[in-house]
Amino acid sequence: MSVNNTLYTYTHLPEDDILLFTLKLTTIEKDAATAIYEAYSNEKTLPDFSDFILDAGKVTDISNPAIGILMKSMSIMKKAKGYLVLVMSEAFLQKIMVDHPEMFNYMAVFHTVDDAKAFISRSRK
């Protein structure tokens, strides 16, 4: 199952029981974060899944209000039975870690989806 809209895509990876949620935007401001939160929280076709990967690999900038909204959305995403993993570029990770270290109390961070999937697979054993 997959969903594709202007803000994000999500795909259920049944062989790994992972929901891969990919942000399509490079810059996330408050309005975009609110739209993502509202769209995701109203999704009626989400499959059951064990683990969740948020792929923010294309994101290069995010506003402070947007961080708060996305942190709130993590409470919805925590419905995952297993791991909540974040994918982002090294440069963006460094920027976010300085400004918002609290984000990293809740999730593992990797630079590629393949690395995130490998982590989940290793951790399940």
pLDDT surpassing 60 at residue 1 = no
User: pLDDT for 64-113, tens place per residue?
Assistant: 888 877 777 766 666 667 888 889 988 888 888 888 777 777 678 899 99
Q: What percent of the chain has pLDDT over 70?
A: 90
Tell me the sheet residues that pair with 3. 10
Domains of the chain, CATH where assigned: 2-124 (3.30.750.24)
| Cα-based distances in Å from 98 to 20, 30, 94, 104 | 26, 20, 6, 11
Residue 97 to residue 39: CA distance in whole angstroms: 27
Which amino acid does the sequence have at 114? D
3-state secondary structure of 104: helix
Q: pTM score, two decimals?
A: 0.84
